[in-house]
Structure 1
Amino acid sequence: MKRKYEFKRIGINEIETIKKLFKSVFTIEPWNDDWSNEEQLRLYLIDLVGQDNSLTYGLYENEELISMSMGHIRHWYSGTEYYIDELCVRTDKQGSGIGTYFLKKIEKAMKEIGITNIFLQTENNVPAYGFYQKNGFYELKRHVSFVKEVGIEK
């Protein structure tokens, strides 16, 4: 059967399909995220795809979602950015060139709507790090991410 790819903007109406792909990728190696709390997952996905500035794309193969990018538009002094919060490729499609193809489609879509930069973060000890470098992304040497756990009083 010939493969047919469709790149399109998706959103809150596809949340169940998004959830299925998201869990299948991020709950296994190398991420091992614990998304067993379905309500927390639902709220997280709504944060990503259900806001006024959300921008989510999917790549479908024969009508099945195989890759997606969830992020938002951010207006910055140097131009308008697409801030990617999550990008994934279905595990059995990784290493096949689908991710690179998908990124090229995203870049084309960004140019068409006037987005000047794509910004994302990943960990430097996972395969995604090399994937992004291979696709022309570079580290911001002075950019640092901070986090502070505040916990919940018991």
Structure 2
Amino acid sequence: MIKKFDVNDLDKCAKIMMLVYNNEYWQCQWSLETAKAYLMDYVEGKKFIGYTLWIDNVIKGAIFCHEKIWWNNNEIFIDEMFVSPEIQRQGYGTELLNIIENHIKEHNLAGFTLSTNRFTPAPNFYRKNGFSDAEHVLFMYKEI
């Protein structure tokens, strides 16, 4: 079952996010407090859209997005999406994307955008769900 995000679910979502990203693929080292603060930044955003995935009355995943103003039509940017490792590759991530896709259609928005780590399984998951590699944009950073 998928429900709209409730702020009371923040701790559980942060713990799942840590399970997903604190590993050899992502090489993150999220603490619970930092993960909660990170997710809360999205929740407090003016155009936040979030959902949680529930299985047997337990949160097992979530998607955090926001509506982004764009010159020709607003779009949804996926800020974070995660599903507990033990239930990955069972269609639950696709269910979360489908909820957002329905929101996009209901509000006549342009579509989705996101960024992810190219050296993990995530790009293939998104490609399988109809996303394309954007040839016209380049994600850049400067390390200090």
Q: TM-score, normalised by structure 1?
A: 0.84
Cα distance in 2, alignment partners of residues 101 and 41 from structure 1 = 23
Residue 32 of structure 1 and its aligned partner are, at CA, apart by 2.3
Structure 1 residue 11, shift from structure 2 partner: 4.1
Distance 1:62 1:115, change over 3 A: farther
User: What is the CA RMSD across the aligned residues, in angstroms?
Assistant: 1.6
Q: Secondary structure at the match of 2:69?
A: strand
Q: Distance in 2 between matches of 1:50 and 1:102?
A: 20
Map of 1:91-102 to 2, 5 A cutoff? 91-102=85-96
SS in structure 2 of the partner of residue 44 of structure 1: helix
* 2:114 counterpart residue number: 120
Query: Match for 2:134: what amino acid?
Result: L
- Percent of residue pairs bearing the same amino acid type: 30
Match of 2:101 among 100, 107, 110: 107
Equivalent in 2, 15, 30 of residue 7 of structure 1:
2
Aligned with 1:61 (options 38, 55, 61): 55
Judged with a 3 Å threshold, the aligned counterparts in structure 2 of structure 1 residues 49 and 11 are, in CA distance, closer, same or farther, namely: farther
Aligned to 1:27: 22
Aligned length: 144
Q: Hey, what's the Cα distance between the residues in 2 that align with 1:102 and 1:43?
A: 22
